[in-house]
Chain A
C-alpha cells in the first residue's frame, strides 16, 4: 500500500519536472517579444474601447502610439489632452494640445418648425427609415428622429428630447468619439470645436434644397441666402449647395451672422447673457441669440439649448 503511494508520488513528480522543462523550452523558443511600453500606455488610457481614435480599442491605440513613436496622428478623443499628456510622459514624447471637440446636432427641425407630412409606422431605426424614404417631414435632409445616435453613444451623452423630437448632446458627457456621427444616416451630426467656455456658433441645418423649398419644409431652415457669408468679417462662412457652413477654425465668435440670419438657422450657444444697456434696451434682442424675426423659433430655442439665454432681456 505504502509503496503504491510512493510510486505514484514519484512518477507524478517526475512527470511534472519533465513537462515543466518542456514547457520552459517551448516558451523560450516561441517567445513573442512585445514592447512592455504598450502595457504601460494602455494603463493610462480610459479603457472605453470605443474606437473613437480609429483603432480597434484601447490596446490597439497603445500599440499604434508605441509603433509610430510620435503622437501627431494618434489622439484619444475620450481622454483628451490630459490622457495624451500621460501617454506622452510614458513614452517620453511631446504632445501638441488639441482643442476639445463636441458633437453638434445640426438640425432644428422641431415639431413646430418642421411639420410632419406623413406618419412613419415602420421599425424605429434611422437607418431603416432612411433606406425606405426621405422622412416624415418635407425636409429630406434633416434629423429622422429615431435615435440611432442615442443607441450609438456609449457615454450616455445624447438623449432624445420628446418635445422637439431631436437629439440633444450633453456637452459635459460628450467625448467626441464620433460614434454618433457614424451612426447618423443623414450626416446631421458633426464634431466641432467646443470653443472657449463652450461658446460656439454653428449653422443648425443641413438642408441643401433651394431656399423656397427648404423654407416650405421647415421654418428654421438655412435658405442659402448668403447674408451671413457677406457679414462675416473673418471669411469663416461659405455657402455651397444652398447651405451655409461655418468653418470653426476661422470663426472668431463675433455672432454677426447670428444677428443677420433671417430664419434663425445659425445658433450661438453658451454665450453669457448680454447686459442690457439702458440706451439701447429695445434693440439688443438681435444680438442676444438666434431669435430675431421668429418668435416661434425663439421659444423653442430656449427648450433646445443647454444654457439658453434668458429671453426677457
Chain B
C-alpha cells in the first residue's frame, strides 16, 4: 500500500495541464523590481544606492535579523530607484528598480552546466554558501534555509524529507525540475543530509508523477554508483492526496511520525525541504550561484494548450511581463492567481513582481472562482473529516464569529495550516477558511503577546 498522511485531506482533480511543457528561459525585461521582502522574517536592508551599477548575482539587500536572507540582483544594470512599491496584494514593500543593461554576472559564480558531484567536507562552508547566496524554502513559506539547516541545541535531525509531492493542482514546476534536473536535486539533498548529520533522506513524490519518480530514482542510482556520499537516499511513492506537501503531513506520510500541536518537525527528528530548494542549495554550494532564478508555471483551463508554459524566470520580473510574453490574459479568465488554486493568492496588482517563492501564474474562470451563496451549517462534519490537522473547522467558525478567543485557543486554531480543505469540502459554502484565518491571526498575536510578557 502506498503511503499517505493519516488524517483528513481532499482529492481535487490534479489538472497538471502543463506537465508536458519543457522549462523555457523567460526573456529579461527592460526593468526589474526586486523586492526586499521575499522571505519569511525581517525584510532585507538595501545596500546599493540609486545610480549604482550592479551585476547579476551581486548582493543588493542584506539580512536585517536572524530570520532574514540576502537578496541578490538577478540582472546586470543600473539602480534606478529604491522605494515602496505595491506587491501582488497591493501592500507597499521596498523594491529596488534596476534598468537592465547586458547580462554580466558577478565574479566567482560558476554559470556552466557541468555537474559537480564532489560535496565539500566543511559543513560551515556549506551553511555560509547557502546563507550568502540567499537560499530560502521554495515550497511556499520561503523560510530562510540556512536557519532551518542550523541544528538547534539538543535536537537531532534523523531524517531529511524532500517534498516532491507538488500536491497543489495545476502546478508543474517541481515536476519539471525533477524531470530535467534530477541529479542536481539529489546532490542538493545529499549536501543537506551531510549538514544535518542524519542517516536517511527520503524524497516524497506523489503517484500521479511516475516519470518524476523514475527520473529521480535513476539519478540516485547513477550518483550512488559514483560516490558513497549518496547512500541512504531513497524515493517514497506517495498516494495522491492534498495537502501532502504540508510539512507535518509529509512527515506523517513518509516517516509515520506526528508533530504535536505547536511543535516543529525537528521535535520528531525530521527536516523537510522542497525539491526546488534542494536545487537552489546545489546551485548555491556547488556553483556559488545565488538564488536569482526560479521555475514558474503558466497555466489554467482557459489557457490554450500551446501557451501552457514552465518558465525559468529571473526573480523581480513583473507578472505583467510574464503574462505579456505568454500572449496576454486568455479569454474567459477572471482571476489570476500566484501559487496553486488551493493556497495561492489572487494577484490584485499585475504590475507586482515575482519573488523567490513565486511558483505560478494561474488563470481561473468565473465558474471556478465565483462563490456560491452561503447557507446554514448542517453539522455534516465534512470539514472535520477533511481537516488534515484534526481540527473542527465548523466549531472554529462559530467561535471566531463570536470572538471567543480562549475557546479558539483551546480548540487549537493556531495549528491550522490554512490549506483550505474545509472550505473545499463544505456543502453549505461557508467561508470557513476566511473566518478561521483572521481569528488564527488574532489568537497567534495574543499568544505572542503573552509569551513576550513572561
| Known contacts A133-B90, A134-B90: A121-B348 contact under CB 8 Å | no
Q: Does B346 contact A (CB under 8 A)?
A: yes
Interchain CB contact under 8 A, A123 and B434: yes
Interchain CB contact under 8 A, B437 and A131: yes
User: In the complex the two chains form, what is the Cα distance from A125 to B86 in whole Å?
Assistant: 22
* Binary contact track A115-139/B, C-beta < 8 Å → 1, others 0: 0011001110101100111111000
Interchain CB contact under 8 A, A134 and B89: yes
* Binary contact track B393-428/A, C-beta < 8 Å → 1, others 0: 000000000000000000000000000000000000
| Known contacts A118-B348, A121-B371, A140-B92: A134-B86 contact under CB 8 Å | yes
Chain A interface residue bracket vs B: 10 to 19
Q: Does B369 contact A (CB under 8 A)?
A: yes
User: In the complex the two chains form, what is the Cα distance from A204 to B346 in whole Å?
Assistant: 30
| Known contacts A121-B369, A122-B371: A133-B91 contact under CB 8 Å | yes
* A123 CB contacts on chain B under 8 angstroms: 371, 431, 434-435
Q: Does B370 contact A (CB under 8 A)?
A: yes
Interchain CB contact under 8 A, B90 and A140: yes
* B92 CB contacts on chain A under 8 angstroms: 140
User: In the complex the two chains form, what is the Cα distance from A118 to B349 in whole Å?
Assistant: 8
* A133 CB contacts on chain B under 8 angstroms: 89-91, 345-346, 348
Q: Considering the complex, give the chain A residue whose CB is closest to the CB of B369.
A: A121
| Known contacts A121-B370, A122-B371: A128-B89 contact under CB 8 Å | no
* Binary contact track B87-98/A, C-beta < 8 Å → 1, others 0: 001111000000
User: In the complex the two chains form, what is the Cα distance from A133 to B92 in whole Å?
Assistant: 11
Q: Does B335 contact A (CB under 8 A)?
A: yes
Q: Does B441 contact A (CB under 8 A)?
A: yes
Q: Does B47 contact A (CB under 8 A)?
A: no
Interchain CB contact under 8 A, A128 and B434: yes
User: In the complex the two chains form, what is the Cα distance from A122 to B371 in whole Å?
Assistant: 7
User: In the complex the two chains form, what is the Cα distance from A121 to B349 in whole Å?
Assistant: 15
* A127 CB contacts on chain B under 8 angstroms: 438
* Binary contact track B65-102/A, C-beta < 8 Å → 1, others 0: 00000000000000000000010011110000000000
Q: Among B89, B91, B345, B370, find the residue whose CB has the most chain A CB atoms closer than 10 A.
A: B89
Interchain CB contact under 8 A, B348 and A136: yes
User: In the complex the two chains form, what is the Cα distance from A135 to B92 in whole Å?
Assistant: 13
* A134 CB contacts on chain B under 8 angstroms: 86, 89-91, 348
* A132 CB contacts on chain B under 8 angstroms: 89, 345-346
Quote the shortest CB–CB distance from A151 to chain B (angstroms).
10
Task: A121-B371, A123-B434, A131-B441 given; name 7 further pairs at CB < 8 Å.
Answer: A125-B434, A128-B437, A133-B90, A133-B91, A133-B345, A136-B348, A140-B90
Interface residues of B (CB under 8 A from A): 86, 89-92, 335, 345-346, 348-349, 369-371, 431, 434-435, 437-438, 441
Selected A-B contacts with CB under 8 Å, 7 pairs: A122-B434, A128-B437, A131-B438, A132-B89, A132-B346, A140-B90, A140-B92
